[in-house]
Structure 1
Amino acid sequence: MRWYVSIGVVLVAGVLAGGDVASFAAPYQTNRPGHQPSADSRQLADKDANPTVDVELVLAVDVSYSMDMDELALQREGYAQAIVSKEFLQALKSGPNGRIAVTYFEWAASSDQKIIIPWRLIDGPETADAVANEIVKTPIRRASRTSISGAINFALPLFDESPHRGLRRVIDISGDGPNNNGMPVTVARDAALEKGIIINGLPIMVKEPSYSTMDIDNLDYYYEDCVIGGPGAFVVTIKDRDKFKEAIRTKLLLEVAGRTPERPVVPAAGKEPRVNCMIGEKIWQDRWGR
């Protein structure tokens, strides 16, 4: 089951006012297929048998040229501030282990991904502060093309490299445009889902679509139908620049607490995608012929 959720649906429940995390959303369902490690990997077998964190969370952040410098700065600040917020730390302690593992990388083209934060354990204010400081101290960069599929493919082996084993494995993708480089996004998505990995999305829709930026109408539908997947997967859409940081915090609260939206707005019913999942590739081909 996949869901679309607006920021307001979550905020009105009071979680950002410091309320009990469990009170704003239904319990997360963990009926995902298990990931079977190779026979010669004793370390991974130990991880599978003994989960040590509530979630292994990969933050995959868009730095393509369609993102302006202000957006990139807000994005960085949003993640850093969310991780040290009292609401995040409260959500952290709501899980059975009371800790998560997180890694943060930036992406653009299919061959352009850069790890900003390797796997880090967050189990309280001190470790949260350390991760937040690592995020903000790294210089902001931009790069060409948009390959959501490349980001997903890059994220998959990161789970095998994690020193921790989570009850859940989640890829959190933010971006302001459709896939226009690398393999089709649905192929990469389905490969992740086969491994029992959940993909959530943060479509950024703060600018009007224009010819020069490769933006599209209904990017939220595109993410809903073409990008996210797995039990309880959801998107939180940013349509107001002033709500940028708030949206990031909302999404992280849901992911860390292992919850689904209490009142989903648009349920995915397994129908044909509302947006062509190859629209980004088509626009690129129409404009530049390659």
Structure 2
Amino acid sequence: MRRREILLQLSTGVLAAPALLSARRASAIEPVDVELVLAVDVSRSVDPAEQELQFRGYAAAFRDPRLIDGIRNGPLGSIAVSFFTWSDWNIQELLVPWIRIDGTASAARLSDALDAAPRRTHLYTSISGAIDYAAGLFGRSYEGTRQVVDISGDGVNNSGRPVAQARAEALRRGIVLNGLVVLDRTPPPPQFAALQQPLDDYYMDEVIGGPGSFLMVAEGFQAFEGAVRRKIIREIASKPPAGPPAERATA
């Protein structure tokens, strides 16, 4: 916690460079502007084509010069990113362990790793399991002024413990939970639509939380790439703008 206080003071200009150097020497954990965990839904509701659009969307985002500029413009000029897929309460697969991104070359390594990563589909949707797994990834190699989990999905929690429990524990640790919802453009039959809360409302009420948290809504998987890019640029900002709690992206 002391290191995070130092980093927060640095980001506001309170500390001089020698204090940061002292903090570096005191620990092997490397300071970055943001620790960002990307958590991607691969439950059975996401077909192979839609899963491919998700992977390509994240890979394209880290090849975008606008995102690279956003990273470089941070107080430390670097972020740390990890990427895992999730489905059932006990199924999470870490496809890209923590990697430091500080420019075009390192961002390209992340994108290349996503291009080469295996595509697997599982059954259920455990948002609580994803939150618990993501929370356990922080503090291993890097420490940022903020710890952010970016959860993308297209369904409600139907496996594992209640989302409220996992969410509350993460928020107590100071972790920010953001959401990226993919809406099915084909509306469900009226008899089913009335039984379930709209997915974007569900994420707003039950999933996201923490200072500056927000939801990005992709109107169909074809809008996913643009939604991802906009979302990550907003997440890595050194002083996240006071944007709307929910944004929408269309193809």
Structure 2 unaligned blocks of 5 or more: 1-7, 10-22, 247-251
Q: Which residue of structure 2 lines up, in the alignment, with residue 77 of structure 1? A: 56
Q: Which residue of structure 2 lines up, in the alignment, with residue 54 of structure 1? A: 33
In structure 2, which of residues 146, 150, 160 is the aligned counterpart of residue 182 of structure 1?
Answer: 160
Q: Which residue of structure 2 lines up, in the alignment, with residue 225 of structure 1? A: 205
Q: Which residue of structure 2 lines up, in the alignment, with residue 170 of structure 1? A: 148
Does 2:169 align with 1:191? yes
Q: Over residues 209-250 of structure 1, what are the superposed CA-to-partner deviations in whole Å (9 max), with x where a residue is unaligned?
A: 548xx9955211110110010000000001133321000101
In structure 1, which of residues 107, 113, 135 is the aligned counterpart of residue 86 of structure 2?
Answer: 107
Instruction: Quote the Cα distance in structure 2 between the aligned partners of 1:173 and 1:263.
Output: 18
Q: Which residue of structure 1 lines up, in the alignment, with residue 69 of structure 2? A: 90
Go from structure 1 to structure 2 and tell me whether the alpha carbon gap of 1:115 and 1:246 turns closer, same or farther (over 3 Å shift). Answer: same
Structure 1 contact 51–167 (Cα < 8 Å) conserved? no
Percent of counterpart pairs with the same letter?
A: 42
Structure 2 contact 213–245 (Cα < 8 Å) conserved? no
Which SS does the other structure have where 1:57 is aligned?
strand
* Deviation of the 1:207 alpha carbon: 3.8
Code of the residue aligned with 1:60 in structure 2: it is A
Q: Which residue of structure 2 lines up, in the alignment, with residue 274 of structure 1? A: none
Which SS does the other structure have where 1:84 is aligned?
coil
Go from structure 1 to structure 2 and tell me whether the alpha carbon gap of 1:191 and 1:144 turns closer, same or farther (over 3 Å shift). Answer: same
Which SS does the other structure have where 2:138 is aligned?
helix
Instruction: Quote the Cα distance in structure 1 between the aligned partners of 2:95 and 2:29.
Output: 28
TM-score (normalised: structure 1): 0.71
In structure 2, which of residues 201, 212, 231 is the aligned counterpart of residue 251 of structure 1?
Answer: 231
Does 2:104 align with 1:125? yes
Which SS does the other structure have where 2:215 is aligned?
strand
Instruction: Quote the Cα distance in structure 2 between the aligned partners of 1:46 and 1:175.
Output: 40
Instruction: Quote the Cα distance in structure 2 between the aligned partners of 1:127 and 1:206.
Output: 34
Which SS does the other structure have where 2:94 is aligned?
strand
Q: Which residue of structure 1 lines up, in the alignment, with residue 20 of structure 2? A: none
* Deviation of the 1:154 alpha carbon: 0.7
Structure 2 contact 53–222 (Cα < 8 Å) conserved? no
Higher RCO structure, 1 or 2 (CA under 8 Å, sep 6+): 1
Q: Over residues 117-161 of structure 1, what are the superposed CA-to-partner deviations in whole Å (9 max), with x where a residue is unaligned?
A: 001000100000001000111121100100000000111111032
Code of the residue aligned with 2:88 in structure 1: it is A
Q: Over residues 156-214 of structure 1, what are the superposed CA-to-partner deviations in whole Å (9 max), with x where a residue is unaligned?
A: 111032x1110100011000000001010011001000000000000110343548xx9
Code of the residue aligned with 1:218 in structure 2: it is P
Q: Which residue of structure 2 lines up, in the alignment, with residue 134 of structure 1? A: 113
CA RMSD of aligned residues (A): 2.7
Code of the residue aligned with 1:126 in structure 2: it is A
Instruction: Quote the Cα distance in structure 2 between the aligned partners of 1:127 and 1:91.
Output: 14
Instruction: Quote the Cα distance in structure 2 between the aligned partners of 1:140 and 1:227.
Output: 25
Q: Which residue of structure 2 lines up, in the alignment, with residue 35 of structure 1? A: none
